[in-house]
Chains A and B, each alone.
Chain A
Amino acid sequence: DAGVIQSPRHEVTEMGQEVTLRCKPISGHDYLFWYRQTMMRGLELLIYFNNNVPIDDSGMPEDRFSAKMPNASFSTLKIQPSEPRDSAVYFCASSWGGRETQYFGPGTRLLVL
């Protein structure tokens, strides 16, 4: 079975540019989570969806960040405009039922110059 798929795996961009990160959850999972990992702040939950509907976006740092889930197989996290402090590894995770095991993707390493 394919796990959670994220693309791109690495992204280097310049400050002010728009960045779009993509995630394909495990088929059949009804919860999708976006996390950010940095040395300073560790793993932080940004937003999560249930059945494609955003449930809690309280972890989204600023209005520059937005996330969508147009269908059960695809989600995006967009940063517009990007800033150097957005540099981090962004993980997508999915689960069935939301309460227990979350399966993480390999992450997207973002560097904003």
Chain B
Amino acid sequence: QQQVKQSPQSLIVQKGGISIINCAYENTAFDYFPWYQQFPGKGPALLIAIRPDVSEKKEGRFTISFNKSAKQFSLHIMDSQPGDSATYFCAALNDYKLSFGAGTTVTVRA
């Protein structure tokens, strides 16, 4: 049973468009929420992360929005580029253990 639920499973966006991926959790013990990016044949790589005392964090074209009361967080990819085509995983940390969402495959069409 996955502790972090992620949607959608996949999405297609035009170059320059916005990609939005949503995640939800139940365990209030989670205290760190990273997003990982994975390209085919590679390991996941940390993209951006947020703590629950912050509602938004932006790094370049990537923004995390965090709603603690709703136990939801999302990743926004602005001005999507073909190089952003990858699988994105949300995750949540409790103690030293990361629980991952199922992943979203993003395809950016040129």
Contacts and interface: CB of A to CB of B under 8 A. Distances in A.
Interface of A: 4, 31, 33, 42-45, 48, 50, 55-56, 91, 93, 98-107
Interface of B: 2, 32, 34, 36, 41-46, 49, 89, 93, 96-103
Task: Classify the interface of chain A: helix, strand, loop or mixed.
Answer: strand
Contact of B43 (A99, A101, A105): A105
B44 A43 contact: yes
A99 B97 contact: no
Contacts of A101: 34, 46, 49
Contact of B96 (A44, A55, A103, A107): A55
Given A42-B101, A42-B102, A43-B89, A104 B44 contact: yes
Contacts of A106: 41-43
Contacts of B34: 100-101
B102 A4 contact: no
B32 A99 contact: yes
A102 to B, nearest CB: 7
B55 to A, nearest CB: 19
Contacts of B43: 4, 91, 93, 104-107
Contacts of B32: 99-100
A42 B99 CA distance: 10
B2 A42 contact: yes
Nearest to B99: A45
Given A42-B103, A45-B97, A48-B97, A100 B49 contact: yes
A48 B42 contact: no
A86 B46 CA distance: 26
A106 B43 CA distance: 5
Most buried by A among B44, B93, B102: B44
